[in-house]
Homo-oligomer: A and B are copies of this chain.
C-alpha cells in the first residue's frame, strides 16, 4: 500500500481532470482560481511529486545538462575545479536545469541520453567523448580551452591579454629587466602567458633576453629553481612575471631567504589569484585574476542558447583577466 501517488490520484482528490492538474503543476494560467486551490491542496495532502521521467518523456525535453570534468590528480587544480563547479551550479540553478556531474579519466562516459547538452570543463583526456558528442549533434560547449579546429562553442580565458596586463604593469612601474617563469609549455595556457610576455616586451621596445625566460611547470619547486638561477645573474632582473601564483610564491620565498626585499629590490607578479597559493606567501602577491566563475556561467548560458535555439554553436569566447594589485610589485627605484 505504498504505491506512489500520481497525477490521477490528485485529479480524483481534487475533483478535476488530470489535464487540469498538469496545468497547475506547470503553472499554466488557464485554470480557475477555485480549481487551482483545490488541486494545490490535494497535491499537498497527497504529497504528490510529478514523475520527472514521465514529464520528460511526454514533453520531449529533459531540462538537464551534463558537466564532465577530468579526474584531476593534481590537487592544486582544486581551486580551479571548484570555481567551475560553483559557477555552473549557480547558473543551472538560475535556469532551473538539473546538473549531471561526470568526473572522468576519459574512459567512462556521461549518460548522454539523460541530458540535453554537455559542457566539458577542459578537454584533456576527453577528446574522444567530445568527438562522440559532436558526431551525434548533441549541444556542447568546451570550457577553458579554445580551439578553432573544432566546430564547437568554446569559452576560455584571455591568457595572452592577462599576461600583457601583468607585464605592462611591471613596465609602467619602471622595470626593464623583467624575467618570466613559464608554465608547463605543453599547455595552451602556458604558451599564451609566455606570448603575452614577449609581445608586451616587444611593444615597449624592450630587448628580450633569453636568459630571462625560465621554463617552469606551474609548480613551486620549478619556480624555486628558476629564481635561484635568476638572482645569481650578473645583472639580475628587477621583476619576475611568474605564470602562476604558486610559482610566484616560490620566487618570493627564494628572494626572502636570500635577503632580497620584495618588492623593494625585486617585484614579483603572479597569475591566477589562487587563494590557496597566495595565502601562504610572506608578501601579498600582486597577480592576475581569471574570471573562472564567470567563465562557467557564460559556458552554461551558451549551452542553454544552443539547446533552446537549436543552433549549432561555434562561438569562440575569451574572457578578460583583471590585475589585482597587492604588495609584491613596486616602482623601480
Contacts from A to B (Cβ < 8 Å): 2, 47, 49-54, 56-57, 62, 64, 67, 71-72, 75-76, 78-79, 81-82, 85-86, 89-90, 93, 98-104, 108, 111-114, 136-137, 220, 249, 275-277, 279-280
Contact = CB atoms under 8 A, between A and B. Distances in A.
Contacts of A114: 52-53, 64, 98
Nearest to A220: B279
A114 B220 CA distance: 44
Contacts of A81: 78, 82
Contacts of A76: 276, 279
Contacts of A54: 53, 57
A98 B100 contact: yes
8 contacts: A50-B113, A52-B53, A53-B54, A53-B56, A71-B86, A78-B79, A93-B102, A99-B101
Given A113-B49, A280-B249, A103 B75 contact: no
Contact of A78 (B50, B51, B71, B78): B78
Given A53-B62, A54-B57, 11 more contacts: A47-B136, A52-B111, A52-B114, A71-B89, A75-B276, A76-B279, A78-B276, A89-B101, A98-B111, A220-B279, A220-B280
Contacts of A49: 112-113, 136
A279 B102 CA distance: 28
A50 B114 CA distance: 9
